[in-house]
Structure 1
């Protein structure tokens, strides 16, 4: 590794090619920067100042969704390999990206309602509701709802095929409970769609009780369960922040894709990919846990 004396940038030099037609790889050619920068096409006429911001924000979301889906598939594979540690480790990257997505939505708040209205009509009937990759994240996680959401989505055929495949595949929720069964935990597997019946719910709570009561004895399984809850929570946080930003920009106006706008977005805040992992906390007894347990090296109280 040497330093390019022209730019001061550390680069790895290789001998120049004798073939004049062969171009050396550069930062721009590797990342396809020229092509990338041509993808922001404004639809407003005359061009509205903030439409470029709007496009870049949403294109960036789609790139992050692509990476999240790649990592969620890797988490699935780790669970299928009975490796809760690796699954939890890979989820940490997803959680970090999702934290960034929650922050990123607020860049849109640098627009005033008037700024947005200057190009909003040019977007119709396109809508964030139609993001196939975000729906893939939902389906892959366990929020499927029978594909009802797909009925009102305008999408490419390849996007529809991807979503249908995600609907047919076991979600991370199913993969998690099947992993627990293989590891010897006596849990039931909740249905892919709809609510679990009372017998299934109770069996899940019984099987997870010791995991949550004594997490130090189930370290990797507990960490994976909590990482999945964090993933679920991040989706909820993104939805909540998105609703508030949209409300700030358009108030009670309907969405560009034909939805009721803020009303529809608010209705999505109850969705959960791992509802029983949220509920298991309510099954723990305060009296059995608080003030009665000490670690093995902790001296008795009063010493």
Structure 2
């Protein structure tokens, strides 16, 4: 019976809960009570960033294949995940500056701005800045460069509109997607038409 239990797929084994719960390693002496919250909040952000990247990539595939309903479903999920990410700040705000300062010194120069996945999300959303990944390891820089060399979610949406018969300026449709998008009045007019006639 014991052997069967150990080999059976369980909630704990499927989700690797035992491994997950070992990933919180406070550095402060004691450790400081609030450091655990700080770690878990930021690890949770990283998990959500991973899911957002996964969802954005699928949303792009859905848009580029013209699958309206599936794209809307995924974009709705992305919106909900982003709401959860923003709401997590409320939990972090329960920590006072003094409580944070009690362990901040142990974090050295580390910062949330060093999050590779956050930079990937920015790139998928259209940020094009060669310096944005300069502080990251070379393999991550290469991964972000690959993202910025292709379509952003915005570019995928513009492709979707073109396939639905909307006429967009040639310099927008055929532009170099590794360069940041610049606002275009003709595109805004098309978006207004879509909003009014093709919701």
- 2:114 is aligned, of 125, 130, 143, to 130
Instruction: Work out the CA distance in 2 between the residues paired with 1:100 and 1:126.
Output: 24
Aligned CA distance change for structure 1 residues 90 and 195 (closer, same or farther; 3 Å): closer
Q: Judge conservation of contact 1:139–1:167 (CA < 8 Å) in 2.
A: yes
- 1:166 is aligned, of 147, 151, 159, to 147
Alpha carbon RMSD of aligned pairs, Å? 2.1
* Residue number in structure 2 paired with 1:291: none
For residues 244-273 of structure 1, what are the alpha-carbon distances to aligned partners after superposition, in whole Å with 9 as ceiling and x for unaligned? xxxxxxxxxxxxxxxxxxxxxxxxxxxxxx
Q: Where does structure 2 lack aligned partners over 5 or more consecutive residues?
A: none
Aligned CA distance change for structure 1 residues 208 and 110 (closer, same or farther; 3 Å): closer
* Residue number in structure 2 paired with 1:141: 125
Displacement of 1:21 in angstroms is 9.9
Q: Considering only CA atoms, is the larger Rg found in Structure 1 or Structure 2?
A: 1
Instruction: Work out the CA distance in 2 between the residues paired with 1:95 and 1:209.
Output: 21
* Residue number in structure 2 paired with 1:196: 182
Aligned CA distance change for structure 1 residues 159 and 194 (closer, same or farther; 3 Å): closer
* Residue number in structure 2 paired with 1:82: 66
Aligned CA distance change for structure 1 residues 195 and 97 (closer, same or farther; 3 Å): closer
For residues 119-165 of structure 1, what are the alpha-carbon distances to aligned partners after superposition, in whole Å with 9 as ceiling and x for unaligned? 10111211100111111111011122x222222x2x34442232121
* Residue number in structure 2 paired with 1:175: 156
SS at 2:155 equivalent = helix
Q: Judge conservation of contact 1:187–1:206 (CA < 8 Å) in 2.
A: no
Q: How many residues align?
A: 194
Larger helix share, 1 or 2: 2
Displacement of 1:204 in angstroms is 1.1
For residues 207-231 of structure 1, what are the alpha-carbon distances to aligned partners after superposition, in whole Å with 9 as ceiling and x for unaligned? 23322233xxx13xxxxxxxxxxxx
Q: How does 1:99-248 map to 2 (within 5 A)?
A: 99-144=83-128, 146-151=129-134, 153=135, 155-188=136-169, 189=172, 192=177, 193-194=179-180, 196=182, 201-214=184-197, 218-219=198-199
Q: How does 1:281-292 map to 2 (within 5 A)?
A: none
SS at 1:100 equivalent = helix
Q: Judge conservation of contact 1:141–1:172 (CA < 8 Å) in 2.
A: yes
Alignment TM-score, normalising by the size of structure 1: 0.59
Q: Judge conservation of contact 2:120–2:144 (CA < 8 Å) in 1.
A: yes
Q: Judge conservation of contact 1:187–1:208 (CA < 8 Å) in 2.
A: no
